[in-house]
């Protein structure tokens, strides 16, 4: 953030309450996995580094023995497929966590931009429009987080204890992540309790990473949509200038609109830079994980395992909804940014001078390329992308059933 932006006096008297409303949930999730500092003063501002290292360690602590178990101990292809889905999800979450950690400075920059925009809200109508889109982002984050943590609670705290575990006619205490057979001490107290708690902490970390990626995307994109809505209201009022008390001249009004538009485009470019690798990993892993979850649901249905069916169905819904949110907000941003061009066509440009009318061409040219969020700059996030992913998973499911059965 520049010093000029920090020195601007607040114009929105309710900015502190608005900022807390918009950022509170995302801040809480990001702080618990070290992507935001708990405090900006004292030694606490360096604690996030320890937390990031701990989160990576706790994920590796669960993944490595599980991978060894799949390679050397487990011979049943069905159980291997179940464990492979779990391992893939952990590896995906660890990869996304790494990308988010690398992009952490840009995340902090975008959060400061969001705060600055709320501080500088001038008119009540602008605040209402921004709150409308902020509520959309907040609600999407709440729903996605609730579904993700509910599925994690069922999978980590209920499902392991709902079936009997035996090895060589000996009952063993269940763990979420299977342990390599060479680590025999894992069944003895208090090692078992420590390992189980570590697995639960791993589960919280990987689900929090998924929820935080979705929450950040919803927060930043809906904020950009709110800013675009403010620009649309300015374009509607360009000729009359009722909402331009500080810019009575039409040239200054056009300059203010162009400046706001450029700021939104630059903000969206940073947001895409933050999310492009995360979205690419999410999109590619969803092809595998959603397909496996569909397979698990079918197998539990055929095996009359109701608890397993409910568990995997809830996880399936959470993954589909998480992917849907990413595609929905990509579609929302693309559609909203396209409206700037259409609004320029609809204003009473014939009431403007020829020079002012020519200046509007600049806005039309800038808006001719809608703002998009892409997955690795390979695939644009849209509802059509979501549909194509689901179609592809069904094709993979048919192949998987034919191969296994």
Per-residue pLDDT tens digits for 354-396? 777 777 887 888 888 888 899 988 899 999 999 999 999 988 8
Q: What is the pTM of this model?
A: 0.89
CA distances from residue 101 to 52, 143, 212, 384 in whole angstroms, order as listed: 8, 24, 12, 30
**Cα separation of 109 and 115, whole Å?**
10
Number of structural domains (the chain) is 1
Give 109's contacts (C-beta < 8 A, 6+ positions apart).
Answer: 1, 270
Per-residue pLDDT tens digits for 346-355? 887 777 777 7
Tokens read off for 382:
């849209």
Provide the residue-wise pLDDT of the chain in tens; the chain has 405 residues. Answer: 444 344 444 566 788 888 899 999 999 999 999 888 876 666 666 788 889 999 999 999 999 988 988 888 888 888 888 888 889 999 999 999 999 999 999 999 999 999 999 988 888 888 889 999 999 999 999 998 998 899 889 888 888 777 656 555 566 777 888 888 777 677 777 888 899 999 999 999 999 999 999 999 999 999 999 999 999 888 887 776 666 555 567 778 888 888 889 999 999 999 999 999 999 999 999 889 999 898 889 888 888 888 888 888 988 998 999 999 999 999 999 999 988 888 888 887 777 777 777 778 878 888 888 888 999 888 999 999 999 999 999 888 888 777 766
**Cα separation of 384 and 145, whole Å?**
24
Residue 24: give the domain boundaries: 3-404
């Amino acid at each position: 953030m520049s010093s000029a932006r920090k020195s601007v006096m607040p114009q929105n008297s309710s900015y502190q309450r608005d900022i807390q409303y918009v950022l509170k949930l995302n801040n809480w999730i990001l702080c618990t996995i070290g992507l935001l500092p708990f405090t900006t003063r004292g030694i606490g501002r360096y604690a996030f580094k320890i937390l990031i290292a701990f989160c990576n360690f706790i994920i590796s602590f669960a993944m490595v023995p599980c991978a060894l178990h799949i390679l050397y101990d487990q011979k049943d292809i069905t159980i291997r497929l179940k464990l492979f889905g779990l391992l893939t999800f952990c590896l995906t979450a660890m990869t996304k966590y790494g990308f988010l950690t690398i992009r952490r400075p840009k995340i902090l920059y975008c959060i400061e931009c969001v705060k600055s925009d709320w501080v500088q809200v001038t008119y009540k109508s602008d605040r209402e429009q921004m709150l409308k889109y902020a509520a959309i982002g907040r609600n999407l984050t709440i729903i996605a987080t609730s579904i993700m943590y509910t599925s994690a609670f069922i999978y980590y705290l209920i499902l392991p204890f709902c079936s009997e575990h035996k090895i060589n006619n000996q009952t063993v205490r269940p763990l979420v992540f299977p342990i390599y057979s060479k680590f025999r001490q894992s069944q003895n107290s208090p090692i078992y309790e420590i390992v189980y708690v570590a697995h639960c902490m791993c589960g919280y970390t990987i689900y929090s990473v998924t929820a935080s990626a979705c929450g950040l995307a919803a927060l930043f994109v809906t904020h950009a949509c709110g800013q675009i809505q403010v620009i649309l209201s300015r374009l509607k009022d360009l000729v009359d200038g009722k909402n331009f008390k500080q810019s009575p001249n039409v040239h200054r009004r056009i300059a203010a609109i162009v400046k706001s538009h450029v700021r939104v485009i630059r903000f969206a470019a940073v947001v895409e830079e933050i999310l492009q690798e995360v979205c690419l990993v999410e999109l590619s892993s969803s092809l595998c994980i959603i397909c496996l979850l569909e397979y698990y649901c079918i197998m539990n249905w055929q095996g009359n395992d109701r608890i397993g069916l409910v568990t995997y169905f809830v996880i399936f819904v959470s993954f589909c909804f998480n992917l849907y949110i990413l595609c929905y907000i990509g579609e929302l941003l693309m559609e909203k940014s396209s409206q700037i061009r259409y609004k320029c066509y609809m204003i009473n440009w014939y009431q403007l001078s020829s020079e002012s009318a020519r200046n509007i061409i600049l806005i039309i040219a800038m808006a001719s390329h809608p703002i998009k969020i892409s997955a690795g700059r390979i695939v644009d996030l849209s509802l059509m992308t979501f549909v194509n992913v689901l179609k592809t998973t069904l094709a993979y499911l048919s192949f998987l059933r034919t191969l296994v059965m």
